[in-house]
Chain A
Amino acid sequence: VCNLLTAIGESPLFERPNYPLKSPYRSVEAPSSLDAFSVKTLLRFVCFEMPTELNAENHAILAAAIPNFDVKDYDGLAQLYTEIKFLFNHTDPQVLFIGDPKVQFSTGDIIPATSIRGVNLGNAPRYNVQITPVVDVASANHVIEQIMEEGEGASEDDENSHFYKFLQIYQQLTAELARHPNFAPARPVVANPKTNNGTFYSDPRHINVITNKLTNQVSDLFDMAYNTLVLMLLRYFGNANQTQSELDALQYAAFFPFMTAVIRPLGEILTLLPAFQTSRKNPARNRATAGASFELARRAEYLPHSDTAWQVFHMQLQLMVTQAQALSENPRFTADIRNRLTMIYENLYRVLMTYDAKIGLGGTSS
C-alpha cells in the first residue's frame, strides 16, 4: 500500500484512530476492537476478510452464525480496492506516476536475506512476504490484485485467502467448544487496554485503562516501541533523499528486530500481567490481564528533517534501553517474565548499538 501511495506522489500512511474503531471502511459492518481470541472475535475477522462471492457451503456456515447474514454487508474492502484499481487504470499514467522510484521497495529491501552462492534471490517471497515496486499501471495492478487475493476484498473464497483461513479456525474452534464447552483458548485479556498515561478519553466505555502500576510500566514501554516503529516506517517508506546507510539503519531497526524481538514479546508479556490493581470487592476483575494497546500516542506523521529524525530515533531507543533494563531488574516480576524482559533489554541495546553505527551517531551507553 505504501508503494502504491508513494508511486503517485502521496505520503505513506500509518495514521489511524486508536482502538476501538467504528467500522473504518464503507459498508464493512465490523468494528475494529482489540479483544481476546473467541468465536465472536474470529467472526469479526472472517467478516473483515469477506470475499465478494461465497460458495454455498461457506454461505451456509456464516448464515448460521450471523443473523440476517448478507455478504453485501461486508464487501466494502472489495469495493474500495476495485475502485482504486479502476482509477489506476483510467488516469493518465504520465500524470499519475509522479512519485520518485527510489522510494519503491521490494521484498529484498525489507527482508535482505543473503544471496545463495552469489545468486540474487530477486523478488521471491520470504516468510510469505512479497513486496513489489509500483512504477506503472501493470505493477500497480499486480500489487492491488495481490492485496485483494490475500484477503482485502477477494472476489471469491480462495483457499489461500485470509478469509478461508479465518473461517477454518472458526469452524475448528466452534467444533472444539461443542465437545468441550469450558474450553478457554485465550488468556483473560481485557478489551482495548490503554496505558494509564494521563490521556483523556471522551468515551471511556469501551476501553480498559491499566491501573496496575507495574503492568502499566510495561505497557508504557510497549507504546514507546510501537510509536517509534511507526515513525521509523514513515521515514523509511517516505523519503527519497536518504542515503543507503540511513535506509539500512532504518530497515535493520524497524522490521525483524523490532517487530519480532521487542514488540511481540512485550505484547505477550502484557497478556500475562494483571490489568488492574487488586480489588477485594471484585475478585473476577483481579484475574483480568492486560494486553498491547497499539495506541498511537502521538500523531503518526513524517519527521521532516533528517538529522532531527535520526536524533529522535536515537533518543527513543536510548530511553527504551533504560526502561527495559529497569524493568528486567525489578524483582516484583516473576523469573520467567524477568528473563523475557532481559532478552528485550539486550535486544534493544543491540538495536541501538547497530543503529548508531549505521547512522554515524555516538556510542551506546548502558
Chain B
Amino acid sequence: LRDAWQHLEKDQRALLALHAEGYTLEELHEITDLTTDVLKARLYRARVRLGKLLAMEGATVAAAMER
C-alpha cells in the first residue's frame, strides 16, 4: 500500500484518507464545499486508481518471486 499510496494524486490521497478516518459524505461536503455527487465520483475514481496501483504492485511482487 505504501508505494501505491505514493503514486496516488495528492487530492485523491487527502480525500481517501479523510474518508477512511470516518468522515461521511455530508461532512466532507461541509468541509470542501463540493457536492456529494462530485465527492462520490471522486472517491470512486480514487479507489479504482488505488486499486489499480495495488494490483500493479502485487503483479510486480509476484513476478519478482517467480524469478
Answer whether A and B are interacting partners. no
**B contact residues vs A (CB 8 Å cutoff):** none
